[in-house]
């Protein structure tokens, strides 16, 4: 069975929610047929450190916009935005279903180099969504640098266990000056976890004059690049094939030989 994703690599209007939602709706309206539409990190504002001014509650305008768009086009819509909850701010990825229900993932690794940790609280659990038998591990930008957080759990000795997930998805505002790390780590995550990897990044300058080259990618479980686009806005649709994934895992069952581990953290 296949699952079809559409990647929207776009420039973003700095801290202008209305302009971004209008622009993104026009782009989504142009998509002919798909199942999952992926937007960049902080798609409504850009990577801003002003959540006190721009964060919304879960019943706010942007989440309701996602609900409306998802229902209208009968798609799953995902991307991250600033959310306020329980007196904290989160860089929260929303996984919006066409029936109006949703899941969410709070970014685990806040980017201290840009003082994200001074403005946002870290999440403490992963979200692995399921659709049509596919399992999708949802993560955000800087999480990419921490392989343990994304690692497939290997089966115990004698255990016949399926892989924990099939697709590893990252939404990002990853700057061009570190794009070599972005491309390398996306490929590494695909190879080491024997899964498809999708990385969706923005393009253009943000409000701090930091340039983003995009470099959105789709990579197969052997590390082969199925899609890559740099510097330009793009809307790209691809169907991932479950049969290909299973063939690779059955022929090269490397993930089953991985070291056993547990993440030891009082917050988890």
Per the residue annotation, which of 17, 35, 67, 107 is the catalytic one? 107
Q: Is 141 a catalytic residue?
A: yes
Q: Which residues, 6 or more positions from 234, have their beta carbon under 8 angstroms from its beta carbon?
A: 7, 8, 9, 214, 216
Per the residue annotation, which of 56, 141, 176, 195 is the catalytic one? 141
Q: Is 41 a catalytic residue?
A: yes
Q: Is 72 a catalytic residue?
A: no
Per the residue annotation, which of 17, 35, 41, 195 is the catalytic one? 41
The residues that are catalytic are: 41, 107, 141
């Amino acid at each position: 069975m296949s699952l079809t994703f559409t990647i929207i690599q776009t420039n973003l209007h700095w801290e202008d929610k209305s302009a971004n939602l209008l622009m993104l709706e026009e782009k989504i309206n142009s998509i002919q047929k798909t199942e999952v539409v992926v937007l960049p990190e902080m798609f409504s504002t850009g990577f801003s450190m002003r959540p006190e001014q721009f964060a919304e509650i879960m019943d706010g305008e942007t989440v309701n916009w996602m609900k409306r768009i998802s229902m209208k086009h009968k798609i799953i819509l995902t991307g991250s935005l600033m959310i306020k909850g329980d007196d904290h701010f989160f860089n929260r990825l929303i996984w919006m279903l066409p029936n109006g229900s949703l899941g969410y993932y709070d970014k685990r690794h806040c980017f201290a180099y840009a003082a994200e940790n001074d403005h946002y609280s870290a999440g403490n659990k992963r979200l692995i969504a399921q659709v049509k038998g596919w399992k999708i591990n949802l993560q955000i930008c800087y999480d990419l640098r921490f392989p343990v957080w994304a690692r497939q759990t290997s089966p115990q000795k004698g255990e016949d266990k399926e892989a924990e997930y099939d697709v590893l998805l990252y939404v990002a505002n990853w700057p061009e000056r570190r794009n070599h790390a972005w491309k390398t780590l996306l490929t590494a995550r695909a190879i080491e976890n024997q899964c498809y990897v999708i990385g969706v990044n923005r393009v253009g300058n943000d409000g701090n004059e930091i340039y983003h080259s995009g470099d959105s990618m789709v990579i197969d479980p052997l590390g082969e690049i199925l899609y890559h686009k740099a510097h330009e806005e793009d809307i790209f649709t691809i169907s991932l094939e479950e049969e290909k994934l299973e063939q690779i895992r059955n022929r090269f069952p490397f993930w089953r030989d991985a070291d056993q581990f547990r993440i030891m953290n009082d917050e988890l």
